[in-house]
Amino acid sequence: MKINTFKILLGSFFLWTSFVGYASEKDKQEDKPFDTKELIFHHIKDSHGFHVVGEFSVPLPIILWTDSGLVTFMSSEFHHDIDGKVIVEKEEKKFVNLHEKIYQLNDGATTVEFDKEHHPINAKMPLNFSITKNVFSLFLSMIVILLIFITAARSYKKSIDGLPSGIGKFLEPIIIFIRDEVAIPNIGEHHYKRYMPFLLTLFFFIWLNNIFGLIPFFPFSSNLSGNIAFTMTLAAITFIITLFSSKKYYWKHMLWMPGLPVPMKIFLAPIEFMGMFIKPIALTIRLFANITAGHIIVLSLISLTFIFQNYIVGIGSVVFVVFISVIEVLVVAIQAYIFTMLSALYFGQALEEEH
């Protein structure tokens, strides 16, 4: 417990210094008042590089498909510019970074021109296959999960008495919990086994990415679980599996519920049909909103230091950040559990036999 508390304090201090460094850098460069909204969204949105602390950052590769073919270069060539002021010339093409969206200038253009709504009028967006922060975290979590489970599997293989060692001891209670408390009660003993690989992958994948998203714990953090495209993809996979798993009674109960008067069936059928699509939407928004809200609260508390410019407020904000960070440790696991449990519940409803 002492080690965990120390990590939280150290991570909170790292986040605070990172925030201070970036805020000071922006203020010096642009000579304008502290903008809380800009700083918060800078840290939670996706980008083409990792801003670590102060002026130190880790660039990521930019991969674009233009009219003339493939163009690649490192994001460091933009020199942290996201306002379209720095122009990168590659393959006789000119590129600018506008709020982490890469645009290609039209032929003959030397600067970006904007309309009244600040949209570029002399640039277009090429196909972007870049490795952003979220993509990097996605690949990293996949590699970590493979290493963890391969190591755990080897511990079972080497064991003489069938008991795992090392990380296998840590994973076994969690796997048994997902099986006994999530899969079997919601799906049933006859069908749960074929869904266990997906449910375990879903739980550990979300949980691990949520942990990576805890900025105080992981310097190269990314708000992947707070990206609605990520949560929507996971929900879509659950939705597709539910459809392919569904039996005749599932559709009968949805479209023409047995045991009800015909007028009531006509009234409830469209509601139940809409509910089939509302379920994955609820999965998408629940994970996205909870993870993003936690990051915004932490960053908002740290922003109080710059708003009030007071050491007492700064110390108080760090104390509250530590408190919220402890809660976030619980939230990241709970959200992974809820997403997995609801997915298992939807599978069970699709597999339900006629009574």
Same domain, 243 and 97: no
Same domain, 181 and 123: no
- Any domain includes 125: yes
Q: Residue 154 has which token pair?
A: 């080897």
CB of 70 within 8 A of CB of 62? no
> Per DSSP, which regions of the chain are E strands?
49-53, 56-59, 61-66, 69-74, 88-90, 93-98, 101-105, 123-124, 127-128
- Any domain includes 19: no
- Any domain includes 41: no
One digit per residue, the tens of pLDDT, for the chain of length 355 reads 444 554 444 455 455 545 554 544 444 445 556 667 777 777 778 888 877 665 667 888 999 988 888 988 888 888 877 888 888 888 888 888 888 888 888 888 888 888 887 788 888 888 989 898 889 888 988 999 999 999 888 888 877 776 777 788 888 899 999 999 999 999 988 888 999 999 999 999 999 988 887 755 455 677 788 888 999 999 999 999 988 888 777 777 777 777 777 787 787 778 888 888 888 999 999 988 888 888 788 888 877 777 777 777 778 878 888 888 788 888 889 999 999 999 999 998 888 766 6
Q: 46: which residues sit within 8 A by CB, 6+ positions away?
A: 100, 132, 133, 134, 222, 223, 227
Torsion of CA 296, 302, 304, 310, to 10 degrees: 180
Of 83, 98, 130, the residue at which a domain comes to its end is 130
What residue has token string 């939807």? 346
Same domain, 317 and 291: yes
CB of 123 within 8 A of CB of 115? no
How many CB atoms are located within 10 Å of the residue 261 CB?
8
CB-side neighbour CA atoms (13 Å) of 118: 4
Q: Residue 340 has which token pair?
A: 């997995």
Position 1 scores a pLDDT of 42
Same domain, 181 and 279: yes
CB of 283 within 8 A of CB of 238? yes
Domain span at residue 175 reads 135-351
Say if residue 12 is exposed, middle or buried (CB neighbours under 10 Å; 0-12, 13-18, 19+). buried
- Any domain includes 87: yes
- Any domain includes 7: no
Phi, psi of 335 (to 5 degrees): -65, -40
Same domain, 199 and 318: yes
175-186 burial code (b ≥16 CB/10 A, e <16): beebeeebbbeb
C-alpha to C-alpha distance for 94 and 86, rounded to whole angstroms: 10
CB of 236 within 8 A of CB of 32? no
- Any domain includes 29: no
Q: Residue 3 has which token pair?
A: 């080690």
pTM, two decimals, is: 0.81
Same domain, 250 and 172: yes
Same domain, 284 and 194: yes
Torsion of CA 267, 269, 270, 276, to 10 degrees: 150
Of 130, 145, 169, the residue at which a domain comes to its end is 130
Query: Looking at the 3D structure of the chain, how many domains does it have?
Result: 2
C-alpha to C-alpha distance for 185 and 177, rounded to whole angstroms: 11
Same domain, 153 and 76: no
Helix ranges, 75-195 (H):
133-158, 167-177, 184-187
Angle between helices 262-308 and 248-255 (to 10 degrees): 90
What residue has token string 């460094």? 21
Position 179 scores a pLDDT of 92
- Any domain includes 20: no
Q: 99, 12, 21: which is closest to 55 by C-alpha?
A: 21
Of 115, 130, 145, the residue at which a domain comes to its end is 130
Same domain, 78 and 119: yes
Same domain, 122 and 140: no
CB of 323 within 8 A of CB of 9? no
- Any domain includes 2: no
The secondary structure element, H or E, covering residue 312 is helix 311-351
Same domain, 299 and 314: yes
Position 159 scores a pLDDT of 75
Same domain, 288 and 245: yes
